[in-house]
Amino acid sequence: MATPEELAAAELERALADFLIALRVEAGLSRHTLSAYRSDLRQLIAWAGSRGVFKLADFDRELIYGWLESLRAAGLATSSVARKLSATSVWFAHLVAEGRIAGDPTALVRAPRMGRSLPKSLEVGEVERLLSAPTQDQSLPPWRQQRDAALLEVLYAAGARVSEAIGLCLDGIEPSLRVLRLYGKGRKVRLVPCNDRARAALELWIRDGREQLPHPRQRPEVFLTRSGTPLDRTNAWRAVKRAATAASIRGAISPHTLRHAFATHLIEGGADLRSVQEMLGHASISTTEIYTHVDGEKLLALHRLYHPRA
């Protein structure tokens, strides 16, 4: 016969399972995000159990603070502690909404303060050199030059995540509308403008280089490897890194660097934040606001130069 603690622990697991189902069905979160929620919350449940707390009703603010302190003491990064608190807050808000508990023990728990990290970006001239690098790399076969050039153009022209770029399918290219159909987090679809240069690079790759690979018409994905299989993240990263080396661009350069450059250059050019949010596929505008730093230094300099009281 199960002990009261075992029954309470089983009830916690059921509550967590119900929450994860709700996130998947109602919020459409990705498998990766759901896995992160599951891991964080099971860690909380295990920590509470080690202190004799097995019932949802017994989770209080002091318990949450104690858990966060234990994470900090274990040397966990501030950003990771904040993420775990965020997952916990969402879970308890769900439990309150479902009537399983009377109050949210995380309601007044403040997230740890973090320094705001600014995205790594590139100057316009650096992007130009990077995008031109594949077609100038004579050590690459022509089909590879065309593929890598088209991939880099898509990453920058559409501000695509690497998963969105390698997941782009042939039917996701709308030449008449001049847009690309990308599938973002949670399989959310969005249409992003595609400039003439990117469209030309895609057309050349699809018409010429891609046709040289094994059975190209049997694959819906735009970007393929030499063996005719879909391009993966690792190969995409290598393509960007190779182009960066050829273009003499130093520092940590990745596919995401081009996404940052896309957003940064749009903001610098005067694009409004809401439009950039839509093109990046950010669920919250607060995520996009980090890019507003790009004009901050310029505006401050102008203020100091021209304001009579600066």
| Residue 69 CA from chain centroid, whole number | 28
Residue among 55, 61, 256, 293 flagged as catalytic: 256
| Known active-site residue 37 | no
Contact present, 280 and 159 (Cβ < 8 Å): yes
Are residues 116 and 290 in contact, defined by beta-carbon separation less than 8 angstroms? yes
179-183 sheet: strands from edge to edge = 173-174, 179-183, 189-193
260: CB partners within 8 A, 6+ apart? 119, 120, 121, 122, 291
**Cβ count near 196 (within 10 Å):** 9
Catalytic choice (199, 210, 265, 282) = 282
Q: How many other β-carbons are positioned within 10 Å of the β-carbon of residue 247?
A: 20
- Work out whether strand 189-193 and strand 173-174 pair parallel, antiparallel, or are unpaired: unpaired
Helical (H) or strand (E) element with 273: helix 273-280
Catalytic residue among 144, 161, 199, 260: 161
Choose the catalytic residue: 185, 190, 219, 293: 185
What H or E segment, with its residue span, contains residue 190? strand 189-193
Closest to 268 in 3D by CA, of 116, 122, 160, 117: 122
Nearest Cα to 216, choosing from 208, 49, 190? 208
- CA dist 156 and 124 (Å) reads 11
Active site residue 256: yes
- 233 catalytic, yes or no? no
Annotation marks residue 241 as catalytic: no
* 190 φ, ψ (degrees, to nearest 5): -145, 150
Q: Of the listed 94, 147, 265, 291, which one is catalytic?
A: 291
**Catalytic pick among 144, 259, 260, 265:** 259
H or E element that contains 42 = helix 31-49
Q: In the annotation, is 274 catalytic?
A: no
Residue 291 annotated among the catalytic residues of the structure: yes
Residues with active-site annotation? 161, 185, 256, 259, 282, 291
